[in-house]
Amino acid sequence: MADGRHVEAFLEMLSAERGAARNTLAAYNADLADFASHARRFAQNPESATPETLASYLRGLNAAGLAARTAQRRLSALRQFFRFLAREGVRDDDPTILLTSPKTPASLPKALREEEVTRLIAGAALLPGTRGALAVAMLELLYSSGLRASELVTLPAAALRDGEILVAVRGKGGKERLVPISARAREAVLAARPAADKAPTDKTPSRWLFPSRGAAGHLTRQGMALLLKEAALAAGLDPDRVSPHVLRHSFASHLLAHGADLRSLQVLLGHADIATTQIYTKVLEERLRALVTAHHPLAQATPPRLASHPPGKG
């Protein structure tokens, strides 16, 4: 079977077994065609390529200035292709096992300023009807706890117990953690509850803190994101800058700026690895640098010229 048929069979598998979208299949096809062109320079077909050929291909992508994320996607396509070949018995090995993924530069969180968060909550309160109370409750919870969007919408109705300041949250991988909730956020949620309690039916209380008539029984992440966009517009903020993820970043950045330590922040955010939390130190570094530049008395001053003296005589 020629190499083109191997690629065709691989793409058919992605479509039939994994339900890959047409755009995904087109991208994989283009990535494999690009690698095939490289392999032929070494008199190899894609399915018979050696680890050295694959490594030289990745070096070439880097030398050509290709974005790390694009290079990662191409490596992902190659890994899946060669695993497919090994599974089908076309190859006895997987030449991509020892290849390392190109490192992508860590992107800085795009947090709102503290005064912008205040404006956002005030804007949410201006929304008509029960949407205003619901938007305020969600914003207060997101900003006071750093919850992920999926964690917030799936909070059970029993999450906020009387006298309890800690809420049990089920995060990624089903892991639970305790997150403190501010009194202000608790009050906002309780104020939004009377209308929310009747959302599923007029008789049966919902098991969710933020119920909905939808199939899931609770407000969706998309519904919450839309509500936050409306609050941003009411507050006069760019809605593209506001999302549940941005509120989570704002929570972390502002806590760190006010003296929180990384280990505590890691626990609050539910990060499995402290390295994930350390990205926020870069946000703080930029703010401190800007603070010194703007306010230090000598930051803008021209350094004095040193007087030149003739060399002394021994």
pLDDT tens by residue, 130-166:
999 999 999 999 999 999 999 999 998 888 877 778 8
Q: 41: domain CATH number?
A: 1.10.150
Co-location of 267 and 123 in the same domain: yes
Cα distances (angstroms) measured from residue 165 to each of 115, 140, 168:
25, 14, 10
Are residues 288 and 246 located together in one domain of the fold?
yes
What would the mean pLDDT of 15-40 be, rounded to a whole number?
90
The yes-or-no verdict on residue 269 having pLDDT over 60 is yes
Same domain, 71 and 174: no
Judge if 177 and 39 occupy the same domain. Answer: no
- Residues labelled catalytic: 148, 172, 245, 248, 271, 280
Q: Which two tokens stand for residue 246?
A: 């941005």
34 within some domain: yes
163 and 66 in one domain?
no
Whether 12 and 128 share a structural domain? no
For residue 49, is it within any domain?
A: yes
Give ∠ CA 233-179-176 in degrees, rounded to 5.
115
Domain count within the chain:
2
Confidence of residue 108 (pLDDT cuts 50, 70, 90): low
Instruction: Please give the radius of gyration of the chain, using alpha carbons only, rounded to the nearest integer.
Output: 27
* 81 and 121 fall within a common domain: no
Indicate whether 76 and 163 sit together in one domain.
no
Rounded alpha-carbon distances, angstroms, from residue 199 to 68, 150, 166, 230? 46, 19, 26, 20
185: closest CA among 138, 115, 220? 138
- Provide the pLDDT confidence category of residue 4 given band limits of 50, 70 and 90: confident
Question: What is residue 172's predicted lDDT score, i.e. its pLDDT?
Answer: 78
Q: Are residues 230 and 121 in the same domain?
A: yes
Q: What is the span of the domain harbouring residue 118?
A: 114-294
Most confident of 11-25, 66-80, 227-241: 227-241
Residue 305 lies in a domain: no
What CATH number does residue 279 fall under? 1.10.443.10
Quickly state the pLDDT bin for 203 (edges 50, 70, 90).
Answer: low
Name, of 65-74, 160-169, 266-275, the range with top average pLDDT. Answer: 266-275
Residue 56 in domain = yes
Three-state secondary structure of the chain = CCHHHHHHHHHHHHHHHHCCCHHHHHHHHHHHHHHHHHHHCCCCCHHHCCHHHHHHHHHHHHHCCCCHHHHHHHHHHHHHHHHHHHHCCCCCCCCCCCCCCCCCCCCCCCCCCHHHHHHHHHHHCCCCHHHHHHHHHHHHHHHHHCCCHHHHHCCEHHHCCCCCCEEEEECHHHCEEEEECCHHHHHHHHHHHHHHCCCCCCCCCCCECCECCCCCCECCHHHHHHHHHHHHHHHCCCHHHCCHHHHHHHHHHHHHHCCCCHHHHHHHHCCCCHHHHCHHHHHHHHHHHHHHHHHCCCCCCCCCCCCCCCCCCC
pTM for this predicted structure = 0.59
* pLDDT for position 146: 93
Query: Which has more confidence, 206 or 19?
Result: 19
Q: Quickly state the pLDDT bin for 2 (edges 50, 70, 90).
A: very low
Strand partners, 5: none
Q: Is the pLDDT assigned to residue 199 strictly greater than 90? A: no
